[in-house]
Amino acid sequence: MDNKAELVFMPTPGMGHIVSMVEFAKRLHDQDQRFSITFLLINPFHPPFYNLYVESLAASDTQFRYVHLPPPLPPPPPPPEQLLLTSPEKNFSDFLESYKSHVRDAIINHVLSFSQLAGLVVDFFYTPMIDIANEFAAPTYIFFPSGAAFLGLMLHLPIRHSLIGTEFTVSDPNSVTHFPSYANPVPTSVLPAFLFNKHGGYTCFLNHARRFIETKGIIVNTFEELESCAVKSLLDSPESPPVYAVGPLLDFAGEAQSGSNRDMIVKWLDEQPPSSVVFLCFGSLWYICPPQLAEIATALEKSGHRFLWSIRRPPPQGEFEIPTDCGGDYEGLLPEGFLKRTENRGMVCGWAPQTTVLRHPAVGGFVSHCGWNSILESLWVGVPIVTWPMYAEQQLNAFEMVVDLDLAVELRLDYRNELGGSGGRVELVAAEEIERAVRCVMDGDILVRKRVREMREKSREAVVEGGSSFGSLKRLVDDMLGRPLIREKTSQI
């Protein structure tokens, strides 16, 4: 048995979760070579780019081990399709919890047989795995891939529930809620949909939040200079376990961005003037319905600005599936003649290497769904965002960026596309609104652009020696290594 301190990492199966956790593992290992890290991976229903990323990690990254967990036996029965649509968060959490026995077996067979267990680092969807860690008398650390403000909201849920005892309601969309981690009152209209969900979504997140306080600490992908109010509220809160702001954690090397479009996109960008291109991209799992695509096309055509636009093809109407890459075929998605009329100043693509694009000097603005990774990437390179949130906590992210931090241009804060345009009515954002936002972010030296450039420097300072995130990581390492290590199986197993 070697002298390594073994950590078991469990990322939620999704690009927005696994990439930042892998980057955290790299930084943790760089900080202290005594750590050895094993990833336990689940591959239930992912798009090809996720599977390719995981396969490339296993093939090229020799510093960590990647163990694929087999599906539970017997497999849990699939939920009725209507229930899947009404409470996807609960069904997803239940699915992950069904892997508890496999996680226990993997720790016994792949960790304790040759190494020392220092603890589990689990995505916040995996809070049931705290039970497994307890069986080994090992600590659990939550990895929180979103921001500190949203973490503060989560930690506040049990307090609110003890007073009110029910989910949020939309009876008054103009009402506000005060959360200690936000500098301004939060409108009901920007709260995540799961907080209103009576079919298990609200209870699911409440139960996750209740278990946060059982952990040894929470690792959050942010930095103190960005979310100073939120980080301070967490550090001051008696209800919160220790919080370690260690971000930004980004795939700077672009390892998650291999793809056939990359060279073609970079070549096109190389031909454009500096800061002249607005980039439109809405994440790896969502898409825009064809009527809304037509409004975006009209806005881009009228704006006169150069653009790079990533489009995903929707699944068949009414089906709950992940969108697919267009593969260069935009038939039925864009207005007739649009590509021809804009061919000298615009490029439409399917998949796009987001970090690579944002770092290119030709890009001057980013119309984004406001996923937390996308926000951190844009700040790292100093490219201002136009906010167009779609689902999950993205409305809150947009609110924080525009209202609390003055670091983004508002298109919408409360837009919702929870079902991706199928199975429900989705409000259309008019071309005039989109054009106005594009012009705002691209024309002139706006104050937001200046503030984003200042935050770019602060984000880079945070992760080097002497920076806030560097120091937070060092404190985390000291905590992880400052306890007796589990050297053998416990009698409970």
Look at residue 124 and tell me if it is in a domain.
Answer: yes
Q: Decide: residue 349, CB within 10 A, 0-12 exposed, 13-18 middle, 19+ buried.
A: buried
Look at residue 252 and tell me if it is in a domain.
Answer: no
* Whether residues 469 and 431 fall in one domain: no
pLDDT tens per residue, range 190-235: 999 999 999 999 999 999 999 999 999 999 999 999 999 999 999 9
* Whether residues 277 and 229 fall in one domain: no
Task: Give the pLDDT score at 364.
Answer: 97
Look at residue 371 and tell me if it is in a domain.
Answer: yes
* Whether residues 62 and 199 fall in one domain: yes
Does residue 256 register a pLDDT over 60? Answer: no
d(CA 182, CA 177): 10
Q: Work out the pLDDT band at 476, boundaries 50, 70, 90.
A: very high
* Whether residues 473 and 418 fall in one domain: no
Residue with the bigger pLDDT between 60 and 249: it is 249
* Whether residues 93 and 55 fall in one domain: yes
Look up residue 18 and give its amino acid.
I
pLDDT tens per residue, range 263-317: 999 999 999 999 999 999 998 766 788 899 999 999 999 999 999 999 987 665 5
CATH value at residue 350: 3.40.50.2000
For the whole model, what pTM was predicted? 0.92
Task: Give the pLDDT score at 321.
Answer: 55
Look at residue 102 and tell me if it is in a domain.
Answer: yes
* Whether residues 470 and 321 fall in one domain: no
Q: Decide: residue 44, CB within 10 A, 0-12 exposed, 13-18 middle, 19+ buried.
A: exposed
Domain encompassing residue 60: 5-247+463-481
Give the percent of the chain with pLDDT over 70: 86
Domain count, the chain: 2
Task: Give the pLDDT score at 489.
Answer: 41
* Residue partners of 397: CB distance under 8 A and separation at least 6: 146, 147, 150, 370, 371, 372, 375, 389
Q: Which residues pair with 248 in a beta bridge?
A: none
pLDDT tens per residue, range 37-64: 999 998 765 555 666 777 777 777 778 9
pLDDT tens per residue, range 125-143: 999 999 999 999 999 999 9
Look at residue 73 and tell me if it is in a domain.
Answer: yes
Q: Work out the pLDDT band at 262, boundaries 50, 70, 90.
A: confident
Alpha carbon of residue 396 to chain centroid? 13
In the block, tokens 């200690």 appear at 180
Q: How confident is the model over 353-373, as a mean pLDDT? A: 96
Look at residue 254 and tell me if it is in a domain.
Answer: no
* Whether residues 10 and 127 fall in one domain: yes
* Whether residues 17 and 156 fall in one domain: yes
pLDDT tens per residue, range 439-470: 999 996 689 999 999 999 999 999 999 999 99
* Whether residues 101 and 155 fall in one domain: yes
The closest alpha carbon to 384, from 403, 360, 396, 368, belongs to 368
Look at residue 488 and tell me if it is in a domain.
Answer: no
Task: Give the pLDDT score at 490.
Answer: 40
* Whether residues 148 and 296 fall in one domain: no
* Whether residues 236 and 294 fall in one domain: no
* Whether residues 241 and 318 fall in one domain: no
Average pLDDT, the chain: 88
Does residue 424 register a pLDDT over 50? Answer: no
Q: How confident is the model over 170-179, as a mean pLDDT? A: 85
Does residue 123 register a pLDDT over 70? Answer: yes
Task: Give the pLDDT score at 255.
Answer: 52
Look at residue 487 and tell me if it is in a domain.
Answer: no
DSSP letter at 486 equals: B
